[in-house]
Each structure stands twice: as structure tokens, then as C-alpha cells.
Structure 1
Amino acid sequence: MKKYIVLIVSLSIIQSLSAQKPEYISFREFLDFEKYNIMSEQELYELNKLYFHYYAFLENKIWFTNLERNCDVQKDSIEIHHGKYSLKVSPEKSDSIYSFSIRHSFCEYRFKGDSLVFEGWYKGNNISYSDSISLYIYQANNIFKEAKLQITDKWQNFILKIPNISPKWNTDIAVEYKGKAVLWFDNFSFSVDNKRLDEIYPETPAELDHEFDESFKFNLTDSISLETYRNLETLCRVWGFLKYYHPAVQSGMYDWNYELFRILPKIMNCADKTSMQRTLCCWIQDLDKAAIKNEITVNEDSILFRPDFNWINSQELGDNLCVQLKKILNKPRPFYNYSVTLYHLDYPIFIEPLYDKISWDDDGYRLLCLFRYWNIINYFHPYRPYFENNWQLLLSKYIRLFVKAKNISDFEKAITSLTAEIKDAHTETYSPTSYTGFNIGQYESYQIPFESKVYKDGLIITGYWFEETQKCGLELGDVIISINAKSIKDIRKEKDVYFSFSNENGMINTYPLLSVSQDSASITYIRKGEEKSILLKGLFGYYGGTNGGTPMEQEPLISKRIINDTIAYINPMLYTSIDLTQQLDSIKAFPELIVDLREYPIDNAIDTVLANFLLPDEVIYAFSSYSDLSNPGVFRKRSELCNIGKKNAEYYKGNVSILVNENSISKSEIIGLICSCAPRHQVVGTMTRGVLGNVCYIPFIGGYGTRMTGIGVYYPDGECTYPNGVRLDYPVQIMPEDIYNKQDYILNKALELINTH
């Protein structure tokens, strides 16, 4: 099955990752333990290192389990109730206590019906008197129903049934156990109003379409006319619009990617705009014959912004095509969409084939890369209004780049610069061999081995890569203004096209600006107001060349909990939520508290711990947006506001200084918003990254892919947190003398404010 994918792994996957690659089966088979589609978070993380974004695309197609917690999970062909295999769970060491859970989220589907039923069979041995298995059904991330199962050595049937009160929310099912027993599970099933999943979601015509599974044998020539490029631009817009707006396409009546391949040769052969318009009109008329009955209408409440449909006009499209598209635009549509869903009315999950076996040099699939990504951003990026005008204008440019990308370097540069255009700090672009992003277009062959930060039109040196670099003649605090007679400003103009940062302060990766094509570099720099020059030789080879020397020891994070008799200090990078909870009583007596958010927290529950400590009551610290799938491109304000904290007369009564900088991103920024609700607070630092929502993943082809921010986050007063991030009460500017003197300029500013206030 090419549409619904699930990863099958063995328990030895961590040891054998390099020798095997995931295979795919239908989502209808995930409940069948004969397929053994169970994976721990750690196993999938390890697999991710080879196959980058499989986690994002497969999370909702498998069972997750906590295999690391002293238990062994495997298929069993002896103790079975149904079919060839059951699932056996046992302690790693005989008669030892272990913890086991499996969880599955139906995050692609909204079940319509009156009741949901989770059913299966189980048995055990080595059973204690108090042993029981817990079953759960969740809706909207809340436990809706749970049950305790008494274990015997005979196969028993369980049935957990709930009313379907929230059909617009995702449904999760889970099984948990803690004890010493050996357990067997078999023949799990899930049904809605007594209908199994394969009855509710029968195979669609899109799933049965396999014409282009191997390749699209179509060549794009280099001699494409200007008129044809314009026709391709119109095709991209119309194809994306129909993908997300036409009821027949929304319902899976067509594999819309393959329909692009079918219409593309016809568009390429159109001699002019008129024939192109006529071809598209005929295409849409054929779709309307297969249109399904519409289900719901679209309400006008809580809309934050709408898509730009100014391109649907007679001048560009002609009267007939324009009328057809507006007719589709004004039709009511179902909330369900075959190509995209929302996880708990939250961030989008794009139900797109990976095409990981398709090569980048397949011209048709390469164009599909662009068409898919451009339309996903156009309809589903939560901050689209901030770059929408530019996004509309860029389509023509990138069609040319993708058509002409006849070597792998040009292809990689095209997708890297394309993804950088949205200026989203969550963006990373992945290759088949790298899950941490790749650097095409960014790096030259050799590296000037300094840590640095952007400072005005230069780069201020903040650290060394190697101990030997300290003797090269450049010092901390020197400001590099040019390399090989090219200004840093001009270097940035060339390389910024490959970087995605939401605001100017988000340019945290300055290494590419310090990379050069030869193993020497002439550097002009400013030291204490005086311009100087130096020639550096024997530079470090970025791509496995010369060994640069002895790596510098990393500066330790501030680890102290007490700064002085009146000031306490918390860095969430250093604490789990349990550790921090144990520290808070001793902090409460201090009149001043510094919360340092200049690193990413190691525990997702830190925000709750801090809120319960700092806030006197529950507060609303933000609201978020979500995409209305019945009207793609429309973003609405979620009715469920972002609230945290509890009524607490014993909250911290002192003053709170919150430190942020360009390393404060996503969860760190969320904690910044929460801490900013403390009655006496000040936010000190530099602009944060400005991306506070979850991430979602988008495939290209051949193992390439990318990600983007999936949720828009707003202050309660309506101000958007993109692109500037957390509001600053006291902005701080890095200065060369701070680096000369090895000063923590943001912490020092906070201490200065504390002392003067």
C-alpha cells in the first residue's frame, strides 16, 4: 500500500539498522500482531538517524511501547488465540517487576458514529493476586474511559466501549501493566458502531492507483518557453487548489500526485494560455462527474486569516476556468481531507507518500516536490500572512530552478533555498543520509575555526574551535568585517538564501560565513576600534580534510543554584521536573530569582513545575491557531486557550528575571511566556527565535524532506509571537568589550537591573 504506511521492526533493529530499511503495510494491519509493528521511542529514534523523518510519518501507523523498562516483547507462535502469532510480554529477568505499555493514536482519522469499541484477547501466568491490566481510550488527549482486567491463565476477551462524544478529535488506545506476570495478547480490534476499520475506511481509488509507483517517464527539456513556464505556474496553483478544495479529491477518489503526472504532458504541449485554460477546464469537468455529496458548511467564527485567492481572476485564467474554480471555492466541504489531518485539532499531519525510492533526477517527481511543498506552505503554514506576498511571487522562480536542476547539487540547492524562503526557524532540510539537515550551498571546503555571532555588519569572535587557534593572532571580541576582500555583508547576501531564521537575531549558525574555498584566508577585522588584517594558513578541512587540532573544552553551563544571598538561579537545561520540584522550597526564601531560558529544557514538564511555583492562580498565557480543513488556508483561533497554573497562596512572592537569547526556541519560548505571567517579572536579553509551535514534516522524494512550524501562537491580547518571539522588557546588545572580558552580558544586565531596582 503506498498511501498508509506502517513500519515493521524486530527487537534487534538497533543492532541491524544499517542492513535493513523499513517496509510498508496498510494501516488496517497495524492491530495484527502477526505483522509485529511495535516500536519503542528509542528504537525509532535510532532508525531516524538513518532515515531522517520516519518518526514524523510513521508515528501514527504503529504501536509505541516502552521496551526499555525491563521487559521483553516478542511474537509467540505457540500460545495463540487467533492466527499464527500472539504478542508475548515477559520480564527480562525471571520473577522481576517490570513496566509495560503500548499506545496507538488514530491521528489521521475522525470517527463518525455513536460508539467506539476496543476489543481483544489476553492471558497470563506467574500471576499475583493483585495483578491487573489497564486499558484506556483517550479522546482530545484526556482519558475518557479506563478498565482493569483481572488476569488468569485462560484466554479471556476484553471489550472497552465508549460513546463517541468528540468526533472531531483524535482517538488513542493504550494497554498498560506493571508486575511480574508473563502476558499474551492477541487479535486486537477497533470498531465504530460495530464496523471494523477496513469497513469504515475501504480502499479508495487513490490507493489502488499504481501507474507511477516506479517512476514518471517524462523529460523536461532545457528549452522551455516563457509561455510554458507561465502555464506550469498556473498548473501548480490549480492543482494545489483542487487537491485541498475539490470534494472528490479530498475524499481519495484520485491519487492527486499521479493526476498531476497525467495532466502535465498536456499542459506542456499547450501552445498558449488559451489552450492551457481549455485543458484545465476539461480536467475539472471530469472531476465534477465524480464529486461526492457535501457534508457540512463552513462557519465564519474565530477566523484569524484567510488564503489569498486573488489569482483566481478572469485576466489570468479566462472566464470559464475562473467560474469553475470559484464554484468549487464556494462549495461546502467535509472536515476530512485525504491528504492532511490535524493531530488533536492541533498541528497538521501530511498524509503524503515518501517516494523514498524515487530518484531526484526523475523530472516529473522533481516537479512534484515543488508543487507539493509550495501548496502545503500556501495552505497550511500558520504564519503565512507574514511572508505570503513573497511566497506568491517566488513560484515562478522555483519552477525554473527545479526544471533546470539536472545534477544533484542543483537539486539540493533548490530544495534548501526553497525551504529557507519561509523564514521559519524550525525548518531543517534532510537528505537520505542525514537526519540533522545538510549544508548544500552553505559551506565551502575549508573552515575558519571560530565561534562567532552576528554583530552589525560583521561577525564578533566569541570562541575557538581548537586550542591551537588561540595563538593565531585573532582574539575574542575581534569583529571580522571581511574575508578575502569580500565583506561579511556581501557573504551574507550570498548565503542567507540557504538559511531559515524568523528574525535577524535568529542567525545563530555563522559557521558557513566563515567557510572558504582554500586552506588560507585573508581576514580584516576591528579590535578596540582599530582596523587590522591577518592571513590565516592551514585551515581546517570541513569535509574531512586537515585535522584542525585539539578541540577546545566546552564552557560549562552555569550550574550554581545560588548567585548570592538574595538571588537564586534556575536553568531548566540542568533539571528534570522532579529535580526542580525538590529544589523549589529552598529557593522560595530568596527575594530575587533568575530563570535562564537560553538553552532548551531537558524535561517537557518543567513548564508546569515553574507555573505552579511562580503563579498565584491559573493564567491564560497564550492562544493558538489551527487550520480549518473544511476551508484550507483559513486559520482559526482555538477555543481552548493555553492555560496553566493553579490557585496557590504559597506561590513565589519575589521578583523574577527571565533570561532569553537567540538560543531560546520553541519550548524555551513557551516557558518564557509562562514565566512572564509571574506578578513581578522582567524579561532580559536578545530576541528569541519566534517559533513557539510544534513541528510537522513534509517529504520531497528519494529520502529528502523538511519540516516547518505547525501551530501559530499568540499572546492573549492577539499579538503574534512570530517573528519576534518572547516580548523583551530590557533588550540587550552584545558588545565587543563583553567578549574581550569574557562577560555574560545578559546575566550581567539582569544583575544590574536587580541591584538598581
Structure 2
Amino acid sequence: MKKTLLILVVLLFQYSFSKPITETQKLAATCKVWGFLKYYHPNVANGNFNWDDELFKVLPKVEEAKTDIEFSNVIEKWINSLGKVKAYKTEISNEEIDYFDKNFDLSWTQNTELFSKSLCQKLKFIEQNKIQGKQYYVEKGTEFVNEVEYEVFNDKDKNFRLLALFRFWNYVEYFFPYKYQMDQNWDLTLIEFLPRTINPVSEGDYYLALKEFSAKLNDTHALFGANKLFNAIGWNYIPFDVKFIDNKAVVTGFKNESLSKINDIKVGDVITKIKEKTIADLIKENQKYVEGSNSAAILNNMEWTIFTGNSTEIEFIRNGKIETKTINLYGYKDLKINYENNSEKYKFLENNIGYANLAVLTPDDVPAMMEQFKNSTAIIFDIRNYPQGTNFAIAEYLNPEPRDFVKSIDPDITSPGRYIWRKEDTPCGKINPDYYKGNVILLVNEKSISHSEFTAMTLKVAPKATVIGSQTAGADGRSYRFEIIKGLWTSFTTYGVFYPNKKETQRIGVVPDIEVKPTILGIQQGRDEVLERAVLFAKNGK
């Protein structure tokens, strides 16, 4: 009798202090606990459970919980069902490890405003006694493996929509090295997008929400895609290339010249409106859908969001005259884009200035090129493209000795969310008393991304190096592309790249010493103003 009375008193005490909990609060916390257990609980992180099914089993119970205490009880019983976690003594290592902890924060497990004291203690115990063996769901180097594969993603099923969001959020939470640099806190992003996952306005809005979710990473390597996303935004493309300058879309070249001629599009045409909306307004409306580390990268990736449909009406300026017309858009296959680059690999410009196009130059070409340029006054390396892995080969000719140019971090798979500074990154250059002593000029812009930026970092440590151009894409390191769930694919950066002094490159990119951006007039005149400025610098050193 006394025992029953005591239990009743305890329960009454608990529930007198319980607080209502919203659906978004419950699901956000469930997402975080589910991901934490996936990578930390010894009996889960080793693959003992079908972890998707476990989520599907607990979600109805989470939905029934009305207060924070009821919710904590549901989660605690769930954890208890996973089996006992054994305590272990951490072995003291003599190895010094330089941790990068700007992303690492499990303090949410101790949120007593949401979790009961006993649940907080249980989560802390799991953290302290995490899996010691091989991770089942992630491999070193960040490869997501052993996920349940489904024949089809049922986007009509709320549980499947939640699964996709929970997977996506936790992949980023534990394995995106630049999470700390996002404009918006990643927890807030989860809370923001849960309602659009639970009750999407429409099928199209659901997929657009996932695109916005991806854009929140502020990573130019990030790219979310799904067939139904393209059903919502359109499958067709303009047959020409544009660059956004001064809130206008300027035609810079052609994806398909014959189709562009059919639509009477010329290089230098300045498009000011699409379907009676200004380019400025369209950029403002659509930038939330575009992945990019900085504004330059976002503008570079903006084209597909504002030129949509089978055809579209444009207002444009040609020869000072404002005109309007309707242009056609085409399926990707119909564009028949020829990606072959027949540009010269290297050549002399005026005044004994060497020029190398790193988009087509290969490592095998480097010795002959440097022999030809050895007595030049300067060499211009054009990196406004994606190079062919020539950075280390070129650097051997530009430096008198090996030089550090990068510092990297890798994920600590034993403690997901934490990163470790590499003990050693491969330096560039070699002992070379006969190194090239002329000016080294590097051309970069928003199309310089990833290996392009890594190449610029490599060559930038040469004794007389100068960077000319504009802000790069700000996404260095490995880009990992994978399926979140059947039919939903994405990518993001999975290891971190910094300068040797540990200064960030992500979002910032390679900063030019001399900033030069193309102008509308320069494009209309067929000029390469960045290259012109480089030639001027090669001539007079300023």
C-alpha cells in the first residue's frame, strides 16, 4: 500500500511540473536522438538493428506524447530496448591529437528543459561509452554505407518524408566540416523545415523545401536533386550562357550556337526582365533555392532557377535599344553540348609573357611548357576553370624549396562530429635552385571551385605570385555525392581545407590581390578584362 502511494505521489509530482510539447519540438528532438544513437550507441552503430524500422516504430509513440515528461519516457524506453551499454575505461594514449572541435557539440543531450534528468544521464552515459569498434553506417573518408535501400521513395508517406529529412540532417550534423560557418544554426534549420516535411503544401513545395534545405549549408559543393524537383521547376534550359552583372543577365556564350541563332540571341545581349519581372527581383526570389558558399557562387549557379518552362518572354537591350521577345528553352539532350575544349594549352602573349590554360594543360605537358617559358618575364596561369591535376607538377618549377600551402581536417569516425587536424599535408615544390624567377600570375573567378581553388592555393606560395580576378566559389576539399534515399541525391564537402595558419578557405575562397570583374561593355566588346589586367601587371608590376 505504501509503495503504491509513493508511486502515485511521484507521478503526481512529475506531471504537476510537466509542460506541453509541440509536434515540431518532439520530432526535432527525435531526429537528433535517432542520429546520435545511430553513430554512438554500441548496439546501434555496429548494425545490430534495422535503424529505419526502429524510427518507424517509435514515431507513433512520439506522436502520442503530449508533454515533455511523456516524451522523455518514450525515448528512454526506446533506448532501454536497445540493450545494455557497458561502461569501459578509456585508454590513455601517448599520441598527441590536435582536435578541431568547432562543430562538435553534444550539449543538447543535457537539455533539461526538454529531457528528463534520467534521460539526460542515459544519453551522457552513451556518449562516454560509445562504440569502440567499426562504424556500420559510415566508413573512414566519409562514405555513407549499409543504409536500407528502398525500391521507391514514397513521398506520400509522412514517415518516409521524415526518414529522408532525418538522414539528411544527421549526415550534415556529423560529417560536414563547415557546419559552424552556416548563416543559420543547423538546429534552427531542422525546426524550420519540419513543418514543410510533416504537412507539405504540395508535392512541388516539398521538393523545393528540400532544395532550400540544401542551400542552407552555404556550400558550393552542395547540390540536391530529384526527378520530382525538376517536375516542379522545369526540365528545360536556355541554349546560351549568361553572367549576372549589375542585376542583369548578360549573354556571354552559347551552349548550342545554332539554337541560340534560331532565337536571335547574341553575345552581349543584356536581359533585364523575364516574364515582366526584373532580373533583380528574380534573383531575390530564387536565391533561397541556390546552393553556394558566397554571393558570387550563388549568382554563378542562379541561371536554372529563373529561366524556366518550355519558353519564356524576355526584355533585353541590344545596341542601346530595349526589345522584348519570346525565346525557347530545350531539354538537356537537345542542347547537344560539346564539352570538348580545343583551346591552346599554352602560348606566348605580347612582351614575352607566357600563358597557360589549366583547363586543358596536363601534367605531362608541364616540363615542355616550363622549358619554353623559362626565360619569360611572367607566366599567367588561367584557373578560371577546372584544372587537370597539374598543380604539384607546376609547383616544382616555381619554388626554390618545398613549401606548405594547405592544412586539412578529417572526420574523427570514433567521435562523429569531431575533426582532427592532419599531422602532415603534402607540401608543394622541391629543392630547385634553378626555379622560375619571373612573375607568377593566377587568374581566378567564381568558376574556380574545389580543385581549382586547391590549385590556386598551391601556386600562390611561389615567391612572386599574384592573384588577379574575383572571389572564388569558396568550396575546397572533397565533394561527396550520394543518395539520401531512393531518388533523392545530394552532395556536400566532407573534409576541411584551410591555409597553413588554419585560416578558413570555405566560403571565403582564394582572395585576389587585384580584384577585376568583367563589365557589360567589356563582354560586348569581346574583351577578357581580367586577362588584360594580368598582362598590364606583367608589364609594369602594378
TM-score in terms of structure 1 length: 0.63
Equivalent position of 1:403 in the other structure = 198
Kept in 1, the 8 Å contact 2:474–2:507? The answer is yes
Q: Which residues in structure 2 correspond to 1:99-248 (within 5 Å)?
A: 227-248=22-43
Counterpart CA distance in 2 for 1:455 and 1:328 is: 53
Q: 1:710 aligned to 2:508?
A: no
Equivalent position of 2:271 in the other structure = 480
The share of aligned pairs that are identical, in percent, is: 28
Q: Which residues in structure 2 correspond to 1:343-742 (within 5 Å)?
A: 343=141, 348-353=142-147, 355-361=149-155, 362-387=157-182, 389-405=184-200, 409-431=204-226, 439=230, 441-443=232-234, 449-464=239-254, 465-467=256-258, 469=260, 476-506=267-297, 507-517=299-309, 519-523=311-315, 533-537=322-326, 539-543=327-331, 557=343, 559-602=345-388, 604=389, 606-742=390-526
Equivalent position of 1:33 in the other structure = none
2:404 aligned counterpart, secondary structure? strand
Structure 2 unaligned spans of 5+? 1-19
Q: CA deviation at 1:737?
A: 1.3
Judged with a 3 Å threshold, the aligned counterparts in structure 2 of structure 1 residues 273 and 563 are, in CA distance, closer, same or farther, namely: same
TM-score in terms of structure 2 length: 0.86
Code of the aligned partner of 1:508: N
My pick for the range that moved more, 305-314 or 568-577, is 305-314
Kept in 2, the 8 Å contact 1:467–1:551? The answer is no
Q: CA deviation at 1:406?
A: 8.5
Counterpart CA distance in 1 for 2:214 and 2:189 is: 12
Cα displacement string for residues 283-323 of structure 1 (whole angstroms, at most 9, x for unaligned residues): 22333525475665699842222423343311122333223
Kept in 1, the 8 Å contact 2:137–2:147? The answer is no
* From 274, 282, 292, the counterpart of 2:69: 274
1:316 aligned counterpart, secondary structure? coil
Counterpart CA distance in 1 for 2:489 and 2:246 is: 33
Judged with a 3 Å threshold, the aligned counterparts in structure 2 of structure 1 residues 751 and 440 are, in CA distance, closer, same or farther, namely: farther
Code of the aligned partner of 1:590: S
Q: CA deviation at 1:664?
A: 1.2
Cα displacement string for residues 553-572 of structure 1 (whole angstroms, at most 9, x for unaligned residues): 99964555111341111122
1:370 aligned counterpart, secondary structure? helix
Equivalent position of 2:104 in the other structure = 307
Q: CA deviation at 1:418?
A: 2.1
Q: CA deviation at 1:254?
A: 2.5
Counterpart CA distance in 2 for 1:365 and 1:509 is: 30
Kept in 2, the 8 Å contact 1:296–1:334? The answer is no
Q: CA deviation at 1:593?
A: 0.6
Counterpart CA distance in 2 for 1:255 and 1:553 is: 44
Judged with a 3 Å threshold, the aligned counterparts in structure 2 of structure 1 residues 713 and 308 are, in CA distance, closer, same or farther, namely: same
Counterpart CA distance in 1 for 2:92 and 2:80 is: 23
Code of the aligned partner of 2:328: F
Kept in 2, the 8 Å contact 1:360–1:411? The answer is no
Judged with a 3 Å threshold, the aligned counterparts in structure 2 of structure 1 residues 388 and 457 are, in CA distance, closer, same or farther, namely: closer
Structure 1 unaligned spans of 5+? 1-224
Cα displacement string for residues 531-585 of structure 1 (whole angstroms, at most 9, x for unaligned residues): x642212x2143589x89x999999645551113411111222222112223321
Judged with a 3 Å threshold, the aligned counterparts in structure 2 of structure 1 residues 544 and 250 are, in CA distance, closer, same or farther, namely: closer
Judged with a 3 Å threshold, the aligned counterparts in structure 2 of structure 1 residues 533 and 308 are, in CA distance, closer, same or farther, namely: farther
Cα displacement string for residues 151-176 of structure 1 (whole angstroms, at most 9, x for unaligned residues): xxxxxxxxxxxxxxxxxxxxxxxxxx
Judged with a 3 Å threshold, the aligned counterparts in structure 2 of structure 1 residues 695 and 297 are, in CA distance, closer, same or farther, namely: farther
Kept in 1, the 8 Å contact 2:47–2:136? The answer is yes
Code of the aligned partner of 1:489: A
Counterpart CA distance in 2 for 1:755 and 1:687 is: 24
Counterpart CA distance in 2 for 1:405 and 1:300 is: 49
Count of residue pairs brought into register by the alignment: 516
Counterpart CA distance in 1 for 2:300 and 2:151 is: 34
Higher helix share: 2
Code of the aligned partner of 1:636: I
Counterpart CA distance in 2 for 1:505 and 1:444 is: 24
Cα displacement string for residues 323-380 of structure 1 (whole angstroms, at most 9, x for unaligned residues): 322333344652632221213xxxx111242614133334323311110110110111
Higher strand share: 1
Equivalent position of 1:322 in the other structure = 120
Higher RCO (Cα < 8 Å, 6 or more apart): 2
Counterpart CA distance in 1 for 2:515 and 2:231 is: 34
